[in-house]
Amino acid sequence: MVDQLTYTPAGGWAYTDQVTITRIAKVSHDGSILLSVDHTPVQQVYSLTYQTDPFDAAWSVPANQIWWDDGSYIIRAYLGGMAPLVRFQRVRVTVEYAGGYPDDEMPADIRRSTSILAARLWKEKDSGYSDVIGSTDFGILQYTKAAPKDVLAMLQQRRRVGV
C-alpha cells in the first residue's frame, strides 16, 4: 500500500537489490536522457546501454556520463553529440543498478506508515466492516477504506512525480 500511495512501482521501497530494467526514454535536445527506475533510492549504476533501433547494436554510456541525486529514483545520462542520436528522439535504455535502502537505513516515515497500515489491515479483517454497516445503536454508517490521514501526510513528501 505504501508503494501505491507514493506512486512507486511494487517493491520500490524494498531493501537494497541489484536490478536490471529496460525502458524507452526520451532524448533531450542536448543529448541527455532522464530515466525513472523502480527501486528508490539509486545506490549505484553498474552499466547503462541504449539502442536507437531494436535491430542495432547497443551503445554503452561511460560511467562518468551517468549521475543521480542522493535519494532519487531518476538516473540521468549524458549521451553527448554521438552521431546516431541526431535523428532519434526515443531510445531503448537498459540499466543495471543497485537501488533501495540498506537494512538499517529505511526512512522512519516509511517504516511507521507501513506499521500503521499493517495494523489497520489486521484489525479490519476481524471487524466485519464493509462499505456500509447498520447498527441499532448508530443507524446506518458509511465506512471508508481510504488510507488514514496521518499516513497520507507522512508519505506526501515521498510521492513520485512523472518524468
Report pLDDT for 97: 92
Strand extents, DSSP E, the chain: 17-26, 32-36, 42-51, 59-60, 66-68, 74-78, 90-99, 132-135, 139-142
Whether the per-residue pLDDT at 86 is higher than 60: the answer is no
Hey, where are the domains in the chain? 17-100, 105-158
pLDDT over 50 at 31, yes or no: yes
> Higher-confidence residue: 133 or 125?
125
Alpha carbon distance 52, 153 (integer Å) = 42
- Across residues 4-15, what is the average pLDDT? 77
Identity (one letter) of the amino acid at 46? Y
Only one residue has cell 495494523, namely 119
Q: Which residue has the higher pLDDT, 135 or 25?
A: 25
- Determine which helix (DSSP H) or strand (DSSP E) holds 115, and give its type and residue range: helix 108-127
Q: What per-residue confidence (pLDDT) applies to 83?
A: 44
Mean pLDDT over the full length of the chain: 79
Average pLDDT of the residues in 39-45: 88
Average pLDDT over residues 34-58: 87
Tell me which architecture the domain covering 17-100 has in CATH. Beta Barrel (2.40)
* Integer Cα distance of 78 and 33 in angstroms: 7
pLDDT at 162 over 70: no
pLDDT at residue number 144:
59
